[in-house]
Amino acid sequence: MKTNAKKIIYRYSSLILLFLFILIASIFAENFFTARNLTNVVRQSCVLGLLTVGMSFVLICGHMDLSIGSIMTFTGLIAISFGTRMPAGAAIACALLAGILCGAVNGLIITLTHANSGESLMITFGTQLLFSAVSLLYTGGFSLSGSESDFYNALGTGSIGKWLPVPVLIYIIFAVLLWVLESKTSFGRQMHMIGFNPVCSHLSGVRTGLVKMVCYCISGFCAAAGAIILTSRTLGATPTAGVGYEMDAIVAAVLGGISLSGGLGSIAKAFVGVITLSVLSNAMNLFGFQSFDQSIVKGCVLIAAIAFDVWNRKQTV
C-alpha cells in the first residue's frame, strides 16, 4: 500500500507541484484567480512554452542546449530587419530557417565530436556566445523597432474571439504537433532510446547522430518561433532579448519532470512545467518580488527539482 502511494506521488509529482503553486497564489494574492490575470499568465507563457518544448527534444535525447536564448535573439533580429524589405510571411520563413540552421550548427558539432551530455552543454555555451556576438555585430548593438505589418503584430498581440490569444493558439498547435512527433512516431521512440542508452541504440542500428541533429534543429526552430512571437508582442527586437530564456526553459522542463540525464520525459510534461513556472513567476510578480528575489526562488526551485529527479531515479533503479 505504502509503495503504491509513493509511486503515485512520484508519477504525478509535477502536477501536484503545479496545484500547490496555484493554491498558494490563489490564497495569498487576491487578484491571481481572476480571468484577466489567468489569461495573462497563459499569454505570457507562450514564448517560454515554445522554447521549452523545443529544448525538451534535446533533453530527452540526453543533451543540453544553452544556445536557444541567443538563437532567439538572432532570429528575432532577422524577422524584424528582413520584414522591412519583404512581406511578413517571407521574413518569418527566413527567421524560422535561420533557427533551424543554428540548431543544425549545434547538432553538427555535437555529432562530429561525439560529445556527451556535459560536453554538449559546453559546446552550446560556445555557440551561445557565437550567436549573440553575431546578433550584436548585425545591429551594431542597437535595437530595431517593431514591424509595420499588421499580420506580424497580430501574432503576438491578437486574439481570436475574446478569449483565445493568437500566440496561445500558435503555441498549442506547435505543442500538439511536437507531442505527436515525440510520443507516437518512430523518430520519437529512437530519441528516447538514445537518451537512455546511446551505445545500445547505435549498436541496434539507430542513426544516433541524425536523430540528435534533428532534435537540435527542432530546438532552434522553436526558438525562432518564440522569437517571432516575442518581437511581435514587444514591438521590436533588441540584441539582448533572449538572454536568460535558456535557463527558464531548463527550469520549466525540470519542473515538468523531464530528466536531465536523458530518456525520461515527454512534451506533455514540458507543457505542465511551463505552466508551473509561469504561475510561479506571475505569483511572485503579484507578491511584488523584485527580479533578484525571483531569481533566488527560481534557482532554489531548480535545484530542488533536480535533487528530486536524481533521488527519484535512484529509487527506481
Partner 1 sequence: MSTDDYILKLDHIEKSFPGVKALKDITLHVKKGEVRGLVGENGAGKSTMMKVLTGIIPMDSGRITIDGQAVSITSPLHAQTLGLSIIFQEFNLVNSLSIAENIYVGRLPKKGMRGIQWKKVHEDAKALLNRVGLDVDPSARVGSLSVAGKQMVEIAKALSQNSKIIIMDEPSATLTDKELEHLFGIIDDLKKQGVTVIYISHRLDEIFRLCDSVTVIRDGEVIDTNPIESLTKELIISKMVGRNMDQEYPVRAGSSSDEVILEVRDLCRKGVFEHINFSLHKGERLGIAGLVGAGRTEIVRAIFGADKLTGGEILLHGKPVTIRSPKEAISHKIALVTEDRKTQGLVLESSISENTTLAALKKICRAGFVNRREENSVAAQYVETLKTKTPGTKALVLNLSGGNQQKVVLAKWLYTDAEVLILDEPTRGIDVGAKYEIYQLINQLADSGKAIIIISSEMPEVISMSDRLLVIHDGKCKGELTGDQKTGENIMKYAILEEDA
| Residue 200 touches partner 1, criterion: CB under 8 A | yes
| Residue 117 touches partner 1, criterion: CB under 8 A | no
Rg of the chain (C-alpha set)? 19
How many angstroms separate the CA atoms of 173 and 176, rounded? 5
Pair 196, 262: CB distance under 8 Å: yes
| Residue 196 touches partner 1, criterion: CB under 8 A | yes
| Residue 288 touches partner 1, criterion: CB under 8 A | no
Contact residue for partner 1 among 202, 300, 303, 304 (CB under 8 A): 202
Pair 237, 68: CB distance under 8 Å: no
| Residue 187 touches partner 1, criterion: CB under 8 A | yes
Pick the closest to residue 67 from 3, 6, 123 (CA basis).
Answer: 123
How many angstroms separate the CA atoms of 257 and 264, rounded? 8
All 3 cell numbers of residue 99?
Answer: 533557427
Of residues 35 and 199, the one with the C-beta less far from partner 1? 199
Closest approach, Cβ 196 to partner 1, in A, equals 5
| Residue 10 touches partner 1, criterion: CB under 8 A | no
How many angstroms separate the CA atoms of 258 and 123, rounded? 21
Q: Give, as ranges, the residues between 208 and 267 that touch partner 1 (CB under 8 A).
A: 263-264
Return the axis-axis angle of helices 35-60 and 208-233, rounded to nearest 10°. Answer: 160
Select from 9-17, 39-47, 189-197, 236-244 the region that touches partner 1 (CB under 8 A). Answer: 189-197
Contact residue for partner 1 among 189, 234, 240, 268 (CB under 8 A): 189
Pick the closest to residue 59 from 207, 259, 277 (CA basis).
Answer: 259
Of residues 86 and 310, the one with the C-beta less far from partner 1? 310
- Point out which residues bind partner 1 (CB under 8 A): 184-190, 192-193, 196-197, 199-207, 263-264, 316-317
